[in-house]
Structure 1
Amino acid sequence: MPIVVPNDGIPAHARRLASEPVRRADLALAFSESGASSVEVLVEGKTFYPPMLADVASATSSVHINQFGFRPGVVGDAFAEALVAKAAEGVPVRLVVDRQGSDPEGGSQAFYERLTGAGVEVCVVRATKARSAVGPLGGGGAAAWNLRGLGHIDHRKVAVIDGRIGWVGGAGIEDHFEDGRFHDLFVRVEGPVVAQLQLVFVAGFRWLGGPIAAADVDVLFPELEGGADPVPAVVLHNAPGSYRPITDAIARVLDEATTTLDVVNPYVTDRRMIRRIEQAARRGVRVRLFVPANANNWACAAAQQFHHATLLDAGVRILEYPTMLHAKAFVRDGEELLAGTCNLEAWSLRRFFEIDLGIRSARVAAQFDERFAAPAEDVSTPGRPLSGGKERARAAAFALVSPLL
């Protein structure tokens, strides 16, 4: 069962998490709709990394980053330098990374030793290790069994600055998101909804053994104004277990679309979600499905292409982006945007840690179309049904095992 946290009860809940041991069940947080005083959709690393770094540089009370892929490189080194500088100023810097995505104890070890040596507190999700250390990286925590955590990779990409600014998107802190090889986006928000992002971070950091004093909670959760015309917004967070609000929200968006539906995703293999996209088109919704022309996961690409003929027959416009389209977003009827980290495949929908922002705003939906969808459509090529027998047989085989991909 989820833990329902009212918006006015977020600081009190954070104090409890800071004061008591946090179990995995405590990560299933359910929020009601809040508001954002500003929302901005930023496309491509060259567009979103500079303001994200500027926000880090402006931090005065805390920098919290939860990142699947944070590795050394031009981009990673720039962020490391910014985090080290903040820690040197005495600003608490806390970081949660995934072992598979960031490799902090392998190829990236020297990179992370620099961070921890400078005072950055780093906690690691080790979803592929049966036994793993508990507590911050380099802290010498005792090893414990991690059987219930196996397979539950942390795929989230979030930054929270001073409890006032939030970033949610699909990109890692890695060079291929900045140099054009991967096409992605981030959504930057300010206002009361940022408190929900902050609580998700606090819960995860504490679950991994990271220290946060109850006395520091008030600093982490400042009073936030919604502005003169707040945008309705909510944080949706899939944690391992039966409560999967992002999965439910995606299904609802697909089912409730009446006029237009944009689906942007690199890995579209879940049969139930694909069926929903097909049904939307068959009831007259104008559906655009944006996918990469050459996905970096060839098995998922083959499984997805198995469904192209059915989707095209239903009236779905499949648009294949020329480089590795990696963004994950859904826009319903030009009035609702769901964007974040969740892919349309079994691991994201049911097993991984994922996080999305749900935003109800025609203005934000129009901004998404102007900055992402319309330019992507201009350079994309139409998807096609598979033709050759060998090609179809291969795709059918991968579609059959898609729940395992």
Structure 2
Amino acid sequence: MNGSLLPVLEFLREWYWLPLALIYSGIIITILAENRNPTKTLAWILVIVFLPGVGLLFYFFFGRRFKKKRIFREKNKDEHRFFYDRWQKHRPMLEKNLEILDKELGDLSAVYRFLYNENISAPLMNNYVKLLINGETKFPELFSEIENAKHHIHLEYYIYEEGEVGSKLIQLLLKKVAEGVKVRLIVDDFGSSKLKRERVLMQDAGVEFIRFLPVRFASISDSNYRNHRKIAIIDGDMAFVGGINVSDRYINNRKNKIHWRDTAVKIEGQSVFLLQFQFWLTWHFSNGHVYELSEDYLVENPQNTGNSTVSFALSDPGSPAPYTMETILIAISHAKESIQICTPYFVPTDQISTALQVAAASGIKVELLMPRRSDSFIVHHASFSFLKPLLKRGVKVYLYEKGFMHAKTICVDGKLAFIGTVNIDIRSFYINFEIASIIYDLNICKELSHQFEDDKKESLLVDIKYWTKRSVWERGLDSICRLLAPLL
């Protein structure tokens, strides 16, 4: 070895820690200077310090604040401005709707007023809503409506997988394109990463296809921001929203090892306006081929009417506030009798946890239903770490044992229903693109409550005695996974 290199090597052996210390100090100072949520700040510092090397890479790819988030904020401002301008002429009608809701819903009408005041969504009445339990109920309805489409089909899904369901849907879309129907499809690039050959097939046939935020090595840092929405819109007056992706795992046909419990809704009426707006904005944000939001896409006087009032809570990484979480908080704070929550992942913010505890301690019947076994080891144990304070304050917790509980629903006082893509976790509130339909319909709420009772029969009711008797290993694992909760 060249003798001139020996002093350099000796120096590196003795002082190698100095550049590493400078790098670590610089990153930690940067995290502190960003003035994030203190819990999240501490979580990132722990990851970086106790996972040397790996923690740095993890932070580099998923922890830094990127200019993409500023783009999200601009998108969010444009959406709110668009909503405000578009609905100006309808203000008198919307104000009247709110007055009616004040009389019929009482304090719970604050949910609709909040969404309206924040220019997120509008309270539209006289919709028809149908509750769809599991994929085996949703997909036949969806395929039937697509078969009857006359003008356009707009689809936006987090997961689109090839299989029995995915292949059948592709064939239907190709058929409708051949008939002259306009088909636009947005899939999340992370959730639908395997959809390659099918993409080419659809694009060659004339389906306008977009991958939302494509994940490439140069953009892997942005892969944390995902479009978790599941929306289908047909001819501007009919839509589907809920937790059900395009995948065979959602149909319980005895071919899958795990029973998959999920919930969606079919909506007909003026509220589909709101989804069309959102799809149009997301399409153009994703650099889709420009199209005008003409009368062909906005059906102002749909023939089908019902008794449901529907609005939507939406949020994304650029939202000035976590609107989906705040909407849920408002509903919890105004509950008088009961709160029924289904969620696959329970990593709540302090605000949500406290609100549920206070509600239960105030005499409101608060019930939480979540899976006993999850599809994510870390999230599963992190979720369990949040249950003890709730159990101590009287929240009834049920662990679904029949299969995997994937439904994202809330029913308050048997009057107001939340059905959509929003999990009770930090990722849904702050990181993902999410949507929840807010439905005032006593019959829908009754059906949702009946389904909740049926699901409870397939679940284990746990109490504080049961929970504290769990092994030290289990409780310790929960606590360790909870350290990562702000990053999940």
TM range (shorter): 0.7 to 0.9
* Amino acid paired to 2:340: D
- Seen in structure 2, the aligned counterparts of structure 1 residues 69 and 100 have a Cα distance that, compared at 3 Å, is same
Matched-pair contact (CA < 8 Å) for 1:305–1:385:
no
Residue 385 of structure 1 aligns to a residue whose secondary structure is helix
**Cα distance in 1 between the residues matched to 2:303 and 2:324:** 24
* Amino acid paired to 1:162: D
- Seen in structure 2, the aligned counterparts of structure 1 residues 380 and 71 have a Cα distance that, compared at 3 Å, is same
Q: Which residue of 2 aligns with 1:156?
A: 229
Larger radius of gyration: 2
**Cα distance in 2 between the residues matched to 1:74 and 1:174:** 8
Instruction: Return 5+ residue gaps in structure 2 as ranges.
Output: 1-76, 91-117, 253-257
**Cα distance in 1 between the residues matched to 2:136 and 2:374:** 21
Partner residue of 1:65 out of 155, 160, 167:
155
- Seen in structure 2, the aligned counterparts of structure 1 residues 301 and 394 have a Cα distance that, compared at 3 Å, is same
Matched-pair contact (CA < 8 Å) for 1:32–1:234:
yes
**Cα distance in 1 between the residues matched to 2:89 and 2:207:** 23
Deviation at 1:6, TM superposition (A): 5.2
Q: Which residue of 2 aligns with 1:373?
A: 452
1:381-405 deviation per Cα after TM superposition (whole angstroms, max 9, x unaligned): 1134152212111111212220112
**Cα distance in 1 between the residues matched to 2:486 and 2:273:** 34
Q: Which residue of 1 aligns with 2:261?
A: 183
Aligned-CA RMSD value: 2.3
1:228-278 deviation per Cα after TM superposition (whole angstroms, max 9, x unaligned): 654221022112212432121111122221210001101101242222222
1:47-58 map, 5 Å: 47-58=137-148
Higher relative CO (CA 8 A, sep ≥ 6), structure 1 or 2?
Answer: 1
Which is strand-richer, 1 or 2?
1
* Amino acid paired to 2:457: D
**Cα distance in 2 between the residues matched to 1:191 and 1:327:** 24
- The answer to whether 1:274 aligns with 2:353 is yes
Identity %: 23
**Cα distance in 1 between the residues matched to 2:88 and 2:209:** 24
Q: Which residue of 1 aligns with 2:201?
A: 114
Partner residue of 1:295 out of 364, 374, 395:
374
The 10-residue stretch of structure 1 (216-225 or 180-189) with the greater mean CA deviation from structure 2: 216-225
Instruction: Return 5+ residue gaps in structure 1 as ranges.
Output: 13-27, 133-145
Matched-pair contact (CA < 8 Å) for 2:173–2:183:
yes
**Cα distance in 1 between the residues matched to 2:343 and 2:189:** 24
* Amino acid paired to 2:467: P
- Seen in structure 2, the aligned counterparts of structure 1 residues 154 and 340 have a Cα distance that, compared at 3 Å, is same
Deviation at 1:212, TM superposition (A): 3.4
**Cα distance in 2 between the residues matched to 1:293 and 1:122:** 37
Q: Which residue of 1 aligns with 2:434?
A: 354
Residue 87 of structure 2 aligns to a residue whose secondary structure is helix
Matched-pair contact (CA < 8 Å) for 1:165–1:191:
yes
- The answer to whether 1:39 aligns with 2:112 is no
1:306-385 map, 5 Å: 306-322=385-401, 323-370=403-450, 372-383=451-462, 384-385=466-467
Deviation at 1:10, TM superposition (A): 9.1
- Seen in structure 2, the aligned counterparts of structure 1 residues 127 and 266 have a Cα distance that, compared at 3 Å, is farther
**Cα distance in 2 between the residues matched to 1:85 and 1:303:** 45
* Amino acid paired to 1:153: R
* Amino acid paired to 1:108: L
TM-score for both structures, normalised by structure 2: 0.72
Matched-pair contact (CA < 8 Å) for 1:71–1:108:
yes
Which is helix-richer, 1 or 2?
2
- The answer to whether 1:400 aligns with 2:473 is no
Matched-pair contact (CA < 8 Å) for 1:165–1:190:
yes
**Cα distance in 2 between the residues matched to 1:10 and 1:236:** 19
Matched-pair contact (CA < 8 Å) for 2:187–2:211:
yes
1:172-231 deviation per Cα after TM superposition (whole angstroms, max 9, x unaligned): 1001111263210111111110000111001101111112332x6221112234866542
**Cα distance in 1 between the residues matched to 2:224 and 2:281:** 19
Q: Which residue of 2 aligns with 1:285?
A: 364
Partner residue of 2:309 out of 224, 229, 232:
232
Residue 294 of structure 2 aligns to a residue whose secondary structure is helix
1:9-48 map, 5 Å: 9=87, 30-48=120-138
What is the number of equivalent residue pairs in this alignment? 371
* Amino acid paired to 1:113: V
Residue 277 of structure 2 aligns to a residue whose secondary structure is helix
Q: Which residue of 1 aligns with 2:114?
A: none
Residue 381 of structure 2 aligns to a residue whose secondary structure is helix
- Seen in structure 2, the aligned counterparts of structure 1 residues 44 and 11 have a Cα distance that, compared at 3 Å, is farther
Residue 172 of structure 1 aligns to a residue whose secondary structure is coil
Q: Which residue of 1 aligns with 2:99?
A: none
Residue 180 of structure 2 aligns to a residue whose secondary structure is coil
**Cα distance in 2 between the residues matched to 1:347 and 1:240:** 10
* Amino acid paired to 2:246: I
Matched-pair contact (CA < 8 Å) for 1:10–1:196:
no
Q: Which residue of 2 aligns with 1:139?
A: none
**Cα distance in 1 between the residues matched to 2:162 and 2:89:** 35
Q: Which residue of 1 aligns with 2:183?
A: 93
Matched-pair contact (CA < 8 Å) for 1:282–1:315:
yes
**Cα distance in 1 between the residues matched to 2:476 and 2:146:** 50
**Cα distance in 2 between the residues matched to 1:119 and 1:127:** 21
- Seen in structure 2, the aligned counterparts of structure 1 residues 51 and 229 have a Cα distance that, compared at 3 Å, is closer
**Cα distance in 1 between the residues matched to 2:161 and 2:89:** 32
* Amino acid paired to 1:117: D
